[in-house]
Amino acid sequence: MAKYKLEYIWLDGYQPVANLRSKTQIKEFAKFPTLKDLPNWGFDGSSTQQAEGKSSDCILKPVALYPDSTRKNGVLVMCEVMMPDGKSPHPSNTRAGIPDDPGAWFGFEQEYFLYQDGRPLGFPENGYPAPQGPYYTGVGYKNVGDIARQIVEEHLDICLDAGINHEGINAEVAKGQWEFQIFGKGSKNAADQVWVARYILMRVCEKYQVDVEWHCKPLGATDWNGSGMHSNFSTSFMREKGGKAYFEKLMKAFEKNMHEHIAVYGPDNHMRLTGLHETQSIDKFTFGLADRGASIRIPHSFINNDYKGYLEDRRPNSQGDPYAIAGRILKTIASVPTK
Ligand code: ADP
Ligand code: MN
Ligand code: MN
Ligand code: MN
């Protein structure tokens, strides 16, 4: 038998963006636990904007687990928040109600800034560093500094150890800005991985005295890029059947539901979706081949493959909730007949 450190992770009730919360519970198991070995647990919802003080217990229901290589016998346990009955989802639980389907594949490109002393890592105390240009996929101290790469490499290794399906990382357009990409099959599975990867990143940053700035436009209306979470998606039908006629119907449905999509694509997105910095304006819906100024970018492979494959919705932002984003995309797709 060994004592395992189970780090129960959940999303709190803050609006418009939930914070990650976690606490450790020790349990003894003969071998590395599986989901069904993990009991529900509780927490004080009055401290997380999830309950009134009088009756404050909320329930944590484990939904996914990942080995934590930073701790001896460590386990990261992603949880849904449930009402005290343990059965009904808490109103803050955006995971419980979304459509899911293992044939729906998602690739999330999570962009973020590393911040220290209230400014992006590498920015001088006053003013700005040299303008954007060399930082995207850049190398060298003057482009990426000295701490950032330690952080992103350490983050990557811990995520890979955890079984999180990273597909890559890169330095982004603004100084101090980075990206990781996660691919997963099924909306819940893919989004769980994004949330746990966010959690790991914030935890890695603690010892560097660095914070992750998830806001989509931390530098406001300047010539510095904002942060997105481009959401690449495909269903079995899109990959196997597809076709131009279906694609056109799909884009009509996306256009019709434009506002419903924007509503869950992250707060303050009007600051980022301006039509500049490789974005489309928030009040327009467009799609285009390899067009980084469109709402939805069609990869070359999609056209070359007779309108089969995946599409990239470029509108979701870095602070968006991947459960809500994936759920909304699947809802719109489900509104389009496949016959
Ligand atoms: P770019 O920066 O050029 O937009 P990235 O390489 O950062 O491209 O991201 C491409 C994303 O597309 C990756 O997250 C990958 O997982 C995702 N992807 C690739 N194929 C599919 C597919 N069939 N369905 C869904 N997502 C996919
Ligand atoms: Mn990318
Ligand atoms: Mn990017
Ligand atoms: Mn992209």
How many whole angstroms separate alpha carbon 132 and alpha carbon 224?
Answer: 7
Per-residue pLDDT tens over the stretch 265-298: 999 999 999 999 899 999 999 999 999 999 999 9
How many whole angstroms separate alpha carbon 187 and alpha carbon 282?
Answer: 24
Residue to mutate, 137, 173, 183, 325, ligand 1, most ligand atoms under 8 Å from C-beta: 183
Using an 8 Å Cβ cutoff, are 94 and 80 in contact? no
> Which residues does ligand 1 sit against, CB inside 6 Å?
105-107, 109, 167, 181, 183, 230, 232-234, 309-310, 312
Strands (E), the chain: 2-11, 20-29, 41-44, 57-68, 74-82, 105-116, 119-120, 166-171, 177-185, 211-213, 229-234, 287-289, 296-298, 311-313
Over 80: is that where the pLDDT of 216 sits? yes
Domain boundaries, the chain: 2-82, 105-334
Fold agreement (2-82, 105-334): no
Kindly identify the ligand whose nearest atom is closest to the C-alpha of 299. 1
Q: In 3D, which of 114, 112, 275, 94 has the Cα closest to residue 182? A: 112
Cα 140 from chain centroid (whole Å): 28
Homologous superfamily (CATH) of 2-82 is Glutamine synthetase, N-terminal domain (3.10.20.70)
CA of 256 to the centre of ligand 3 (A): 26
Over 80: is that where the pLDDT of 53 sits? no
> Which CA distances in Å does 185 have to 101, 113, 190, 293?
8, 27, 6, 27
Residue-level pLDDT at 48: 96
Residue-level pLDDT at 339: 83
Ligand 1: nearest atom to the Cα of 183 = 16
Q: Tell me, what DSSP letter sits at residue 228?
A: B
Over 80: is that where the pLDDT of 189 sits? yes
For the chain, percent of residues with pLDDT exceeding 70:
100
Over 80: is that where the pLDDT of 54 sits? no
Q: In 3D, which of 280, 263, 268 has the Cα closest to residue 216? A: 268
User: What average pLDDT does range 82-95 have in this prediction?
Assistant: 95
User: What average pLDDT does range 302-328 have in this prediction?
Assistant: 98
Interhelix angle 148-161/187-206, rounded to 10 degrees, is 140
Compute the mean pLDDT over every residue in the chain, rounded to the nearest whole number. Answer: 97
Residue-level pLDDT at 158: 98
CA angle 88, 15, 152 (to 5 degrees): 100
Residue to mutate, 108, 109, 289, ligand 1, most ligand atoms under 8 Å from C-beta: 109
Q: 155: pLDDT confidence band, cut at 50, 70 and 90?
A: very high
Residue to mutate, 112, 164, 181, 238, ligand 1, most ligand atoms under 8 Å from C-beta: 181
Can you give the pTM of this predicted structure?
A: 0.98
User: What average pLDDT does range 47-75 have in this prediction?
Assistant: 94
Residue 43's SS3 state is strand
- May I ask the CATH architecture of the domain 105-334? 2-Layer Sandwich (3.30)
Q: 55: pLDDT confidence band, cut at 50, 70 and 90?
A: confident
Per-residue pLDDT tens over the stretch 96-145: 999 999 999 999 999 999 999 999 999 999 999 999 999 999 999 999 99
Per-residue pLDDT tens over the stretch 195-215: 999 999 999 999 999 999 999
Per-residue pLDDT tens over the stretch 234-251: 999 999 999 999 999 999
Over 90: is that where the pLDDT of 311 sits? yes
Residue-level pLDDT at 56: 84
How many whole angstroms separate alpha carbon 273 and alpha carbon 317?
Answer: 9
Q: In 3D, which of 96, 97, 8, 4 has the Cα closest to residue 48? A: 8
User: What average pLDDT does range 153-161 have in this prediction?
Assistant: 98
